[in-house]
Amino acid sequence: MSQITKNKLIKALERLLDGDVTKLASKELRNKARKGKLKINNSNVEKEAGLSAGALRRHDDVVLMIKNKSLEVQVAQDETTDSPIDVLQKEIKSLKGERAQANKKKKEYYDEAQSHKEALAIQAATHIKVVQELMDMLHESQREKAMDKIVSSRPDNIIAPQFRKPK
């Protein structure tokens, strides 16, 4: 069974490389080929062979063949490159650029999060001071009622009070 699958995959790769749109078995791939957007990759070879996604996972030699043929096609299509090494170096350069941009964004978002964290800490400290001052304004007999009212209104709104004792 594995040899049959392997043969299907190899024949599908050959049909894709042939470039003849009428020989392609997959309607989706024929449409892509007519538009000039057909790429040689694992997924398209599996579709052309009529197999499920992941059928290539046990056929490393076919996967390697697909990679090599894909590079050859890219070299043939790109006028600025002369060899597969140039294509791969170009791809590496673009990936490094993308990674640099991603790291820049990551740092930007991290710095923004830190500033928000500091602002939240300042706001929480101000809030606690306001609550403490308000509690100090109340008479001792009313403080306990006020705290009970605050706690009972929202059970997750419990702060460890550090009230000053009146003189």
Q: Looking at residue 55, what is its pLDDT?
A: 82
Instruction: Find the angle CA(143)-CA(145)-CA(147) to the nearest 5 degrees.
Output: 70
Q: What is the DSSP string of 86-142?
A: HHHHHHHHHHHHHHHHHHHHHHHHHHHHHHHHHHHHHHHHHHHHHHHHHHHHS-HHH
Percent above pLDDT 90 for the chain: 19
Q: Looking at residue 70, what is its pLDDT?
A: 81
pTM of the model: 0.52
pLDDT band at 82 (very low <50, low <70, confident <90, very high): confident
Q: Looking at residue 94, what is its pLDDT?
A: 92
How far from each other are the two terminal CA atoms of the chain, in whole angstroms? 91
Higher pLDDT, 70 or 111: 111
